[in-house]
Amino acid sequence: MNKFIFATGDAGAPDVVDFLASISVPVLEKPFELRTLELLAQKVKADNAAVALQK
């Protein structure tokens, strides 16, 4: 179950690329539109609900 959205303004740096590849959370690159965050949050919520139903 995923409860985080990782936001970064430096997704192109090699160490950041490695870190983002190692985590299993959605990544939102700055700058972003508020609507993009809202949609991603809705997706995370829906995914969590689906996982909860499987248990």
Provide the pLDDT for residue 53.
85
Please enumerate in sequence order all residues whose Cβ is within 8 A of that of 29, keeping only pairs 6 or more positions apart, or say none: 7, 8, 9, 11
- 8 A C-beta contact, residue 6 and residue 26: yes
What's the length of the chain? 55
Full domain range(s) for residue 39: 6-54
pLDDT number for residue 29: 94
Would you say residue 1 lies in a domain?
no
Spatial contact of 11 and 36, defined as CB atoms under 8 Å apart: no
Instruction: Specify if 11 maps to a domain.
Output: yes
Residue 34 is assigned to a structural domain of this protein: yes
pLDDT digits (tens, 9 = 90+) for 1-37: 678 999 999 888 999 999 999 988 999 999 999 999 9
User: Does the model's pTM come out above 0.75?
Assistant: yes
Q: Is 16 domain-assigned?
A: yes
Number of domains present in the structure of the chain: 1
